[in-house]
Amino acid sequence: MIAPRLTEYSPWEMPLVIAPAPARSSSAQSPIIIEIGPGRGDFLFHLARTDPAAIICGIEIKWRRFEKLRERRERDRLANVALIYGDARVAVPQLACLVDKVYVQFPDPWPKRRHAWHRILDAEFLGSCARRLKTGGEIWFITDDKLYAESTAALFIADPGWQTYFAQPIVTNCPDAFPTHFAQKWRAEGRTIYYQRYKRS
């Protein structure tokens, strides 16, 4: 595949490149799980292997990573992985289906104010996720950045359509979470990890 020349586009006009899941027998009941920013894809492929009935879709903004994910999908012969190259803020509103789960794990925090527009979790993006989630669908948000965790929790709390799954919106211990590449990296450095999980009612 040839990478679109991103310098020609503003982020909002960035074209999407879609590598659909190879033809397989799927039913309308197949759960659909989205991972935004899968990076190396350890979690994406773990999900695909442990839940072969589900369609697992990774949305990745970096072309090189997208290509590597595509290569790995072919190498591992996983027929239930779909991949989208592009900005998730553009891709999610265009999804032609309702989804069961959305995972956002260790998105880049972009702490500087002038770079804040890169930050993916904002009110607009949460609105897009809410519109694409099935009733009872859920979103996971995991970060090592305390301020990002807190500002995102405030957005979820402000919308009564989201219900926290945990006893409180943010927890720092979550044995159910998969140890992604960045989870392992930050844990090895002794950083605290902030987990959030919400259900859409």
Query: Active-site positions?
Result: 108
Among 120, 121, 126, 129, binds ligand SAM (CB under 6 A): 120
Site stretch for ligand SAM (CB under 6 A), options 21-29, 93-101, 103-111, 192-200: 103-111
Q: Round to the nearest angstrom and report the end-to-end CA distance of the chain.
A: 40
Nearest distance, CB of residue 23 and ligand SAM, angstroms: 26
Place of tokens 């027929």: 79
Among 24, 49, 62, 131, binds ligand SAM (CB under 6 A): 62
**Applying CB under 6 A, does 57 fall inside the site for ligand SAM?**
no
d(CA 35, CA 58): 5
- 183, two tokens: 């989870």
Site stretch for ligand SAM (CB under 6 A), options 67-75, 102-110, 159-167, 189-197: 102-110
d(CA 137, CA 101): 6
Site stretch for ligand SAM (CB under 6 A), options 33-41, 94-102, 153-161, 166-174: 33-41
Among 37, 137, 148, 194, binds ligand SAM (CB under 6 A): 37
Among 30, 33, 107, 129, binds ligand SAM (CB under 6 A): 107
| Residue 119, CA atoms < 13 Å, CB-side half-sphere | 22
Query: Count H helices, E strands: the chain?
Result: 6, 8
**Applying CB under 6 A, does 129 fall inside the site for ligand SAM?**
no
Q: Pairing relation of β-strands 17-19 and 162-164?
A: unpaired
Among 141, 156, 162, 182, binds ligand SAM (CB under 6 A): 182
d(CA 97, CA 57): 12
Residue 46 or 134 with smaller CB distance to ligand SAM: 46
Among 89, 132, 197, 200, binds ligand SAM (CB under 6 A): 89
Nearest distance, CB of residue 145 and ligand SAM, angstroms: 11
In three-state secondary structure terms, 171 is: strand
Residue 68: count other Cβ atoms within 10 Å of its Cβ: 15
- 152, two tokens: 């995102």
d(CA 1, CA 198): 36
Which residues contribute to the site for ligand SAM (CB under 6 A)? Answer: 36-39, 59-62, 65, 87-89, 105-108, 120, 180-183
